[in-house]
Every structure is written in structure tokens, then in C-alpha cells.
């Protein structure tokens, strides 16, 4: 089952903003719900069912990832992703970068930055 954060939380050293839908192990989800830091949400179809992802060579992936990390702040990446019709599940920087790369939009976004 998935949960939606009701406040900013920290999990495994990563800050998760309020309003994010996340999946953790059952025990962690239950603890956050009992603390009123999250609520259970009905899971919907996975975005993977709707989004076509491309396979990227690991070296190219790393190069694109570093380029995006160095060129944009997290908020800027989200705006660029939306501008290029990238479907994102989370606004965490690494998740947005993954979506941009695997949906084939990284080079377009990086070219515009130049």
C-alpha cells in the first residue's frame, strides 16, 4: 500500500516534502500513519503502464545525470521536465533526473541550458 506524507519527513537521510506519495515497508508506513505524519492512499495504476521509457547505456546515463545535477536545482528540473512533457512520480531531484533520462529528454534539456 502507498502513503501520502502530511508533513515534511526524513527517510534514509532523504527529505521528503509534504504531499508526496511514497511506498515504504509496511511497518514504516504504519508508524508514519500512527504519528499523523502520513495517510494511506489508494494505489493507482503504475505510471510505467503509461510512460514509454528508453534503455540508456550506464555510462551515458551517468554522464547525463551529472550534467543535469550540475546545471539545475531541483525546482528548475521539475519545471523543465513538465515543459518537455516528462511524466514524474516524485519531485525529488534524483527521481526527476531518472525520469528525464529514461524518457529521452535529457539531451534536449541540456541543449537548452547551453
Q: What is the pLDDT of residues 21-35, one digit of tens each?
A: 898 999 999 999 999
User: At 71, which helix (H) or strand (E)?
Assistant: helix 58-71
Residue 42, pLDDT > 80, answer no
Do 31 and 84 belong to one domain? no
Instruction: Write down the pLDDT at residue 47.
Output: 54
Which tens digits make up the pLDDT trace of 47-70? 555 678 889 999 999 999 999 999
Do 12 and 35 belong to one domain? yes
Strand partners, 5: 38
Are 8 and 49 in contact by the 8 Å Cβ rule? The answer is no
Do 60 and 13 belong to one domain? no
Q: Which domain holds residue 15?
A: 2-41
**DSSP, res 48:** G
* Euclidean distance between CA atoms 33 and 87, whole angstroms: 27
Do 105 and 51 belong to one domain? yes
Are 76 and 93 in contact by the 8 Å Cβ rule? The answer is no
Do 21 and 74 belong to one domain? no
**DSSP, res 36:** T
pTM strictly above 0.85: no
* Euclidean distance between CA atoms 37 and 34, whole angstroms: 8
Do 28 and 51 belong to one domain? no
Amino acid at each position: 500500500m502507498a502513503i501520502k506524507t502530511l508533513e515534511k519527513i526524513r527517510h534514509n537521510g532523504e527529505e521528503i516534502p509534504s504531499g508526496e506519495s511514497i511506498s515504504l515497508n509496511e511497518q514504516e508506513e504504519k508508524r508514519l500513519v500512527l504519528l499523523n505524519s502520513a495517510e494511506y492512499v489508494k494505489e493507482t495504476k503504475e505510471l510505467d503502464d503509461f510512460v514509454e521509457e528508453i534503455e540508456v547505456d550506464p555510462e551515458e546515463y551517468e554522464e547525463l545525470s551529472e550534467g543535469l545535477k550540475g546545471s539545475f536545482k531541483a525546482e528548475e528540473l521539475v519545471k523543465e521536465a513538465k515543459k518537455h512533457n516528462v511524466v514524474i512520480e516524485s519531485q525529488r531531484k534524483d527521481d526527476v533526473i531518472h525520469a528525464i533520462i529514461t524518457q529521452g529528454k535529457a539531451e534536449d534539456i541540456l541543449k537548452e541550458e547551453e
